[in-house]
Amino acid sequence: MKFEIHPTASPTSDKDRTAKLADPGFGRVFTDHMAIVRYNQAKGWHDARVESRANFPLDPALAVLHYAQEIFEGLKAYKRDDGGVNLFRPDANARRFRSSADRMAMAQLPEAVFIEAVEQLVRIDRAWIPGGEGSLYLRPFMIASEVFLGVKPSAEYIFAVIASPVGSYFKGGPAPVSIWVSENYTRAAVGGTGAVKCGGNYAASLRAQAEAIEHGCDQVVFLDAVERRYVEELGGMNIFFVFEDGSLSTPPLGTILPGITRDSIIQLAKDAGKQVREEAYTIEQWRADAASGKLKEAFACGTAAVISPIGKVRSGSGDFLINGGAAGPVAMGLRKQLVDIQYGRTNDPHDWIVKVF
């Protein structure tokens, strides 16, 4: 699909952009452009453009505003030391986006169009990619854009990609996070949308996340919806456990989001000869293994923060520490390995990197 490129008539000045890039934080600073592709049943996917970032006209009866047919992705562009730019496994995001669309009864965007939209936006907004440990966070998303209040899959969609420069998620290395075990709320049940990257999952997780904050924790961890025992994942990150025999385990796919970071960590750990089990693990076992010393580390993972060590677990039945509350060597080693691949500082044995420049 050919994108029409319409550079903005009023780009941010070099001075203003430099000021914004000095301390971008997360998700509040945006680049000058967006990529956009439209869908309707008559024309299919059409009108692919890169243009000035601007408001969408929102009819109050737009389907997404009422029935939440919305999906998204998250990936990053990384600046290499030689000045070039890497994407990390964009094909995996494109594939997941298609399967999310399928589950939400939305039109499926061809993977090549997804990747082209991302690459075009990175090309035109290249000057917005921070150096050092920063990156350009890319947010592809799709909304149901038919103007109709009937409950049915929308006949029209807007796919767009926006971009936001982000600093290093953790200044001075990742600090261990504390997590709150949600006993009142669950995230996903079998047959539901747990494996889909849809905004609705996040809406439903915010009350539990607020409860985590009220209990002095950084993040919430959800248990399975049936037995309320098996650890599933955090609000927006997958989870791994590291044992004294050197093996790792992570909850199996099904009701959790199939994270690309999760998949990459499984591969890197296996490359290093470690045993990795995708298996159910209960909160009781977690507590017992932390107490006995069988469990050495736990960490959360996702595109935004890469790997966050988990230092403390808090629940209605008491707290426990992991690795004395400190970051452990396995989490930190895997983190460095992954980050080095993303920034092109090391070889890329699985061909995960796509060079945009």
Ligand X SMILES: *Cc1c(COP(=O)(O)O)cnc(C)c1O
What's the Rg (C-alpha) of the chain? 21
Residue of 257, 283, 331, 339 that binds ligand X (CB under 6 A)? 257
User: For residues 233 and 297, which CB has a smaller minimum distance to ligand X in the complex?
Assistant: 233
Side chain identity, residue 116: E
Residue of 69, 145, 238, 255 that binds ligand X (CB under 6 A)? 238
User: For residues 74 and 153, which CB has a smaller minimum distance to ligand X in the complex?
Assistant: 74
The verdict on 198 binding ligand X (CB under 6 A) reads no
- What is the C-alpha separation between 108 and 237, in angstroms, rounded? 25
The verdict on 142 binding ligand X (CB under 6 A) reads no
The verdict on 153 binding ligand X (CB under 6 A) reads no
- Tokens 């997804």 locate to 114
Side chain identity, residue 128: W
The verdict on 237 binding ligand X (CB under 6 A) reads yes
Q: Which stretch binds ligand X (CB under 6 A): 48-56, 142-150, 215-223, 257-265?
A: 257-265
The verdict on 268 binding ligand X (CB under 6 A) reads no
Residue of 125, 233, 289, 297 that binds ligand X (CB under 6 A)? 233
Least distance CB 136 / ligand X (angstroms): 15
Intra-chain end-to-end CA distance of the chain, in Å: 20
> Is-contact 262 238, C-beta < 8 A?
yes
The angle at the Cα of 36, spanning 31 to 40, to the nearest 5 degrees, equals 160
Give the per-residue contact string, 63-82, with ligand X (x = CB under 6 A; - = no). -----------x--------
- What is the C-alpha separation between 260 and 278, in angstroms, rounded? 15
> Is-contact 72 140, C-beta < 8 A?
yes
Task: State both tokens at 342.
Answer: 């993303």
User: For residues 208 and 237, which CB has a smaller minimum distance to ligand X in the complex?
Assistant: 237
> Is-contact 332 305, C-beta < 8 A?
no
The verdict on 217 binding ligand X (CB under 6 A) reads no
Q: Within positions 282 to 321, which residues make up the interface with ligand X, using CB under 6 A?
A: 302-303
Crossing angle of helices 90-103 and 111-124, rounded to 10°: 130
Q: Which stretch binds ligand X (CB under 6 A): 13-21, 153-161, 236-244, 267-275?
A: 236-244
Chain residues in the site for ligand X (CB under 6 A): 74, 197, 233, 236-238, 257, 259-262, 302-303
